[in-house]
Amino acid sequence: MGSTHGNRRSHAALATVLLACFAFAPTGVSAQQSPSAPHEHSPFSCDDVPSGTARPEYGCFNIARVDGLNFRDSVVYWFLYSFPTRAAAEAAKTSTGVVVEEDGKVWLNELTSATSRARAGALVSRVGPLVLPPAPTYTAIYSYAVMAPGQRSRVHTHSGPEGWYVLAGEQCLETSVGVFRGRANEPVVVPGNIPMELYITGSALRRALVVVVHDSRQPRGTPSAWVPPGACHQ
């Protein structure tokens, strides 16, 4: 009997220690944990955090906005240029353009027809076509995102097309009309007004520049009740 009670007390003590260890175990990506280590992430949305201000290590940050845009055509392209200085980029931009500094570079973003291009700067990518919904005016919101493998967005819908230029890593966008994948130095475009979920694939941090061009009367994005079938995980 004494031995039995002793074993029970030992087991209870061990259980208490294990529970304490689990209760205080760290979550997320730590300094000792690779970004590709398996762990659960809560879905995220893009937040207004101007370029150059303090922000979290991971997330999607709205860094610039251009309102009151008008276009002659219903199809536009996002031209992405790099410049050696901000002053040079500011001197080259048009009324549809905006200059941001991210990822150690100065970027000029322009929305225009397929044949237009800036008179200066190094053309990095032409992202499009971006097919616009009918609207009296448009708003362009530019974002910069840094995300770890396994992170995902909330399920949402944009009131206009969205374009990405992937700087590093890999991503998979699951939508109600199909799957769109992107890797470093690749542009990705999806139409507006469809539900979607962004999922980060691969084994490296994914960094990207993003633009959404939408009807100025509508919000940039809204939550969606659509349930992705999981094609990005296959």
**pLDDT tens-digit map of 89-132:** 999 999 889 999 999 999 999 999 887 777 789 999 999 999 99
What is the pLDDT at residue 23?
Answer: 32
Which H/E stretch holds residue 209? strand 206-215
Residue type, 56: P
CA 99/CA 86 separation, integer angstroms? 7
Which H/E stretch holds residue 16? helix 2-23
CA 89/CA 83 separation, integer angstroms? 6
Q: Is the pTM of this model over 0.75?
A: yes
φ, ψ for residue 10, nearest 5 deg: -65, -45
Q: Given this structure, which CATH class describes domain 35-224? A: mainly beta
Structural domain spans, the chain: 35-224
Residues 138/49, Cβ–Cβ less than 8 Å: no
Residue identified by tokens 């251009």 is 66
On average, the pLDDT of the chain sits at 83
Which H/E stretch holds residue 157? strand 156-158
| pLDDT band for position 221 (cuts 50, 70, 90) | confident
Smallest CA-to-CA distance from 189 within 156, 159, 164 is with: 164
pLDDT in tens, 73-87: 999 999 999 999 999
Residue type, 71: F
Tell me the HSE value of 179 on the side-chain side, using a 13 A CA sphere. Answer: 13
% of the chain surpassing 90 pLDDT:
66
